[in-house]
Amino acid sequence: MSTSITVNREFIVERENLRNSKFVDSPLPDAASLPAGQVLMRIDRFAFTSNNVTYAAFGKAMSYWNFFPAPDGWGKIPVWGFAEVVASTHDEVKVGARFYGYYPMSSHVVLQPSRCGEHGFTDAAEHRQPMHALYNQYLRTSSDPAYTADSEDQQVLLRPLFITSFMIDDFLADNDFFGARTVLLSSASSKTAYGTAFMLSQRGKDIEVIGLTSAANVAFVERLGCYSKAVTYEQIATLPNHEPVVYVDMAGNGKLRSSLHHHYQDNMKYSCAVGGTHWDELGGGANLPGARPALFFAPAQIKKRMGDWGPGGVQKKLAQAWQQLMVPVLDPASGWMHVVHGTGPQDVQQVYLQMLDGGTRPEEGHVLTLARD
């Protein structure tokens, strides 16, 4: 049986050598030693997916290391999770309250709530202020319409990814698929890619959704049922290239991007850079035939739709789509997702190293904690 730990246990990685990682323990503050206006939170559940490896791979370039400061040369990888307040010197955030948000891979974290309300708070720590507001918000589970206690695993695994999937589908449709009727997705077995394919598949037969994946994951991609077909990276040259296509890139693989642009030439109508699952084969997009690769920035499309759809419109449509996604996700017979829980340092390090080396199974959703041994 697992037991709660009585220190703050943190997982840190060497920034320039992600394969080097370690755990650091430090004493936990109590209410008496916690500075005024702060809360100590126990992080009892967080997801670890390729998205978190991408945060580390882009830690310097995109400032992901800046959320949770670490000793020189080391970094704390951000994760999405649930945490409970275990000590508080803040009037509006009480012990026992539970929040969804962005946390370090630790057993505990101290936050400094500001702009508190019924829905949650924003971390006012100075080093977080230059970061996008989305990452600094903590949602109170008791008033979050998307929250149910029995779906915490699915929420930490898919919620931060599905909003991007939803907005990519919407962005493409909003732009009439840039004149194309075929969408190619790389790392098709990733949760962000299949969330996008799931949304695209609801648009009917007009849109062909081709999943590009590694040979090991082709059967999984076929089984999902939301791709028109699955094609391995080695088979790209066999794809017909006489019609316009859009590329949604979750892999970030430079060679793959170059092969696709050269294969489709001017029929590559839009090239949308979303992810970097192939983090050790990342490459630039300069001087390629076809459309110039463009970074996808979900907040820009969210902002546009907040204007188009009015107050609450984005949340309402997203909530409807989430309910639809949960049908296959929660159905064990679908084979979409099997949640695997890990507890303590050994499990956390093992999942981390497997994910770095592409050794995890796409149907596995890893939910971890360091708050128990």
* Residues near ligand NAP, by CB under 6 A: 49-51, 54, 161, 164, 187-192, 213-214, 217, 250-251, 274-278, 296, 298, 355-358, 362
Q: Which is nearer to ligand NAP, 347 or 373 (CB)?
A: 347
Cβ atoms within 10 Å, residue 331 = 11
Helix, strand, or coil (residue 179): helix
Residue nearest to ligand NAP (CB): 275
In the bound complex, what is the minimum distance in angstroms from residue 355's beta carbon to ligand NAP? 6
The distance of closest approach from Cβ of residue 168 to ligand NAP in the complex, given in angstroms and rounded to an integer, is 9
* Residue whose CB is less far from ligand NAP, 244 or 285: 285
Please give the biggest Cα pair distance in the chain: 69
65: Cβ contacts below 8 Å, ≥ 6 apart = 15, 59, 75, 76
- Whichever of 38 and 192 has its CB closer to ligand NAP, that residue is 192
In the three-class reduction of DSSP (H, G, I as helix; E, B as strand; rest coil), residue 351 is classed as helix
Contacts of 236 by beta carbon, 8 Å cutoff, 6+ apart = 212, 256, 259, 260, 263
For the bound state, the minimum distance from the C-beta of residue 227 to ligand NAP, rounded and expressed in Å, comes to 11
Q: To the nearest 10°, report the CA torsion of 157, 158, 159, 160.
A: 80
Region class of 232: left (phi > 0), else alpha (psi between -120 and 50), else beta? beta
CB of 273 to ligand NAP, least distance (A): 8
| Cα gap 188→11, rounded to integer Å | 29
Taking the least distance from each CB to ligand NAP, the nearer of 274 and 314 is: 274
Q: Decide whether 93 or 158 has the Cβ nearer to ligand NAP.
A: 158
Give whichever of 82 and 194 is closer to ligand NAP, judged by the CB atom: 194
Nearest distance from C-beta of residue 32 to ligand NAP, angstroms: 40
From the CB of 142, what's the least distance to ligand NAP, in Å?
27
